[in-house]
Amino acid sequence: MNDDLRALTDLDRIIHEPARLLLMTILSGVVSADFLFLQRQTGLTKGNLSAHLSRLEEAGYVKIEKTFKGKLPLTVCKLTSAGQKALAKYRQQVQSFMDKTS
């Protein structure tokens, strides 16, 4: 197996799943976003979104907090520093592969 292909096999599988990649990309541009916003932006069902966020939380990439904004109850999600690093590494790996193979 050549190095280009080996780089692909090293990709972080947690991020590589399209819905989770979309979630992490959205969260990387903001301090935090709530469950409803993420649902509207991704088009995922509540159950699907919840499952993907739980997976990202287990991996330490996302932090989920129940909070209030004024009187409005919110479930907000933030990308952790580990999540930021993992996403940056993932992007760099994919970009590098595409640069070498295109």
Partner 1 sequence: MNQDFTEIQQRVRHYWFKDGVGEIAVGGLFVALSLYFAGHYLAGTRLLPSVSNAPLYIDMGLGVVLLLGIILTRKFIAVFKMHITYPRTGYVEYYIESKNSLAARIAIFIAGTLFVLILIAIGRWVGSFKWIPAFLGILFGGLLVFLRTKTSGLKRFVYHAAVSILLGLVLTFNSMPVPGLSVYYATFGLWLMAWGGWVLAKYLRENPLPNGEDDE
Q: List residues near partner 1 by CB under 8 A.
A: 22, 25-26, 28-41, 46, 50, 69-70, 72-76, 91, 94-95, 98
Between 14 and 76, name the residue whose CB sits nearer to partner 1. Answer: 76
Q: Which is nearer to partner 1, 1 or 72 (CB)?
A: 72
Dihedral Cα 1, 18, 23, 73, nearest 10 deg: -140
Q: How far is the CB of 20 from partner 1 (least distance, A)?
A: 13
Contact 78, 24 (CB under 8 A): no
Q: Counting Cβ atoms within 10 Å, is residue 20 exposed (0-12), middle (13-18) or buried (19+)?
A: buried
Min CB(76)–partner 1 separation in Å: 7
